[in-house]
Amino acid sequence: MSMSSTAPLLEVRKLQKFFPIKTGLFGKVTGNVHAVDGVSFSIRKGETLALVGESGCGKSTVGRSILRLFDLTSGEVLLDGVRIDSLSAGALRPLRKRIQVIFQDPFSSLNPRMRVHDIIAEPIRNFGLCQSEQEIEERVAKLLEKVRLSKDAGARWPHEFSGGQRQRICIARALAAEPDLIICDEAVSALDVSVKAQIVNLLQDLQKELGLALLFISHDLAIVEHMTHRVAVMYLGKIVELADRKELFSNPQHPYTVALLSAVPVPDPQKKTNRIVLQGDVPSPVKRPSGCHFHTRCPDAFARCKTEEPKQTMLGSGRMVACHLREN
């Protein structure tokens, strides 16, 4: 998997998204849900960056904040060096076509009252990408072919398709806007194993053909290992490790990453793995532990972890880890 450019297409700088907790008759703010707290990364054209972690770690909130479905609490999002986080709705509209999204549930994200042709044609019309209905017809037919569906699929309704076929329709709709980046928010987690593999292979083929960048949000580390270039591991709203895929899977540096990887199923029954079971539940994002947020579950925690938040330490070749054990 080669990346066609070293210049960042997307840059996320110290992104924060807090959701206020309001109580009482007048909606007094009594606290915040710290969904995302100081997340930074970049994605190059043609690259796949995976964002992984347990449910509730904030990875989907990162994706939706980039899309401006949420307003940022603070931080910056840049597309080709241009800040898009503070643009007005009117100024943002022409840039929206460059970042598209594929959601987890393909059935919920398709309008059941629209035929497949109109679903795919909608972004083409909205962004004025074709000059005539004839061009739109031809464009929709090509998109259906790209995602390996027959041309007559355009005349049918979403409920007539299987889950995997519906996700192909969602991919075609995302491609219709001619994007540079697609955010895949748990895009294959609701599919059967065999169908999941087909969709992943399709995304990889489309990436090579079109030079797409992908932000692949997932908790399925087996899929992540198969299709990504770099991996960012999130815990309780923060990135605790970011590295090249091969480096991270072969030599994880953060204790949380080590625990996550130990839970990945191994197809070889003869190969034994040392499964690390983390104690306790994920702390509340409302009242996070002091110091390192992972110290309440970390098997390697020591006194300093309870009082001092670890700094992000660069270990060379773009690798980052936030852990006191790695600071020296």
Measured in degrees and rounded to the nearest 5, phi and psi for residue 92 equal -80, -25
Whether residues 80 and 32 share a domain: the answer is: yes
* Residues 152 and 50 placed together within one structural domain of the fold: no
Residue 292 lies in a domain: no
Same domain, 23 and 81: yes
Q: What are phi and psi of 159, to 5 degrees?
A: -70, -10
My answer on whether 164 and 68 are in the same domain is no
Same domain, 15 and 164: no
Q: For residue 240, what are the CA distances in angstroms to 111, 194, 265, 326?
A: 38, 32, 23, 12
Q: pLDDT band at residue 4, thresholds of 50, 70 and 90? A: very low
DSSP string, 136-204: HHHHHHHHHHHTT--GGGGGS-GGGS-HHHHHHHHHHHHHHT--SEEEEESTTTTS-HHHHHHHHHHHH
Kindly state whether residues 137 and 67 are assigned to the same domain: no
Number of domains comprising the chain: 2
Residue position matching structure tokens 């999002």: 77
Domain boundary among 231, 265, 299: 265
120 and 230 in a single domain? The answer is no
Say which CATH number the domain at 198 has: 3.40.50.300
Instruction: Determine, yes or no, domain membership for 251.
Output: yes
Residue 274 belongs to some domain of the structure: no
Q: What are phi and psi of 61, to 5 degrees?
A: -65, -35
Which of these, 156, 158, 163, 122, lies nearest to 139 by C-alpha position? 122
Residue whose C-alpha is closest to residue 140's, from 115, 103, 165, 110: 115
Residue 79 lies in a domain: yes
For the chain, the average pLDDT equals: 91
User: What percent helix, strand, coil does the chain show, rounded to 5?
Assistant: 35, 25, 40
Indicate if 84 and 205 belong to the same structural domain: yes
Residue carrying structure tokens 């464009």: 139
pLDDT tens for residues 279-306? Answer: 888 899 999 999 999 999 999 999 999 9
Residue 303 lies in a domain: no
Q: Which of 131, 152, 178 is the last residue of a domain?
A: 178
Note whether 260 and 185 are same-domain residues.
yes
Same-domain check for residues 210 and 173 = no
Q: Which long-range contacts (CB under 8 A, 24 or more apart) does 297-300 make?
A: 298/255, 298/256, 299/255, 300/255, 300/325
Q: Specify if 327 maps to a domain.
A: no
**222 forms bridges with which residues in the sheet?**
none
- Residues 34 and 171 both lie in one domain: no
Taking only the tens place, the pLDDT of each residue in 84-110 is 999 999 999 989 999 999 998 988 999
- Identify whether the C-beta of residue 28 lies closer than 8 Å to the C-beta of residue 83: no
Cα distances from 157 to residues 16, 152, 176, 177, 321, in angstroms, run 39, 11, 18, 21, 47
CA–CA distance, 53 with 217 (Å, rounded to integer):
9
Question: What domain range includes position 116?
Answer: 112-178
Confidence at 3, pLDDT banded by 50, 70, 90: low
pLDDT band at 194 (very low <50, low <70, confident <90, very high): confident
Q: pTM for this one?
A: 0.91
Is residue 71 domain-shared with residue 185, that is, in the same domain? yes
**Which of 239, 265, 291 corresponds to the end of one domain?**
265
- Would you say residue 297 lies in a domain? no
- pLDDT above 70 coverage of the chain, percent: 96
3-class secondary-structure state, position 96: helix
Question: Would you state the structure tokens that stand for residue 271, as one six-digit string?
Answer: 């190969």
Strand partners, 82: 79
Instruction: Let me know if residue 323 belongs to a domain.
Output: no
Integer-rounded Cα Rg, in Å, for the chain is 21
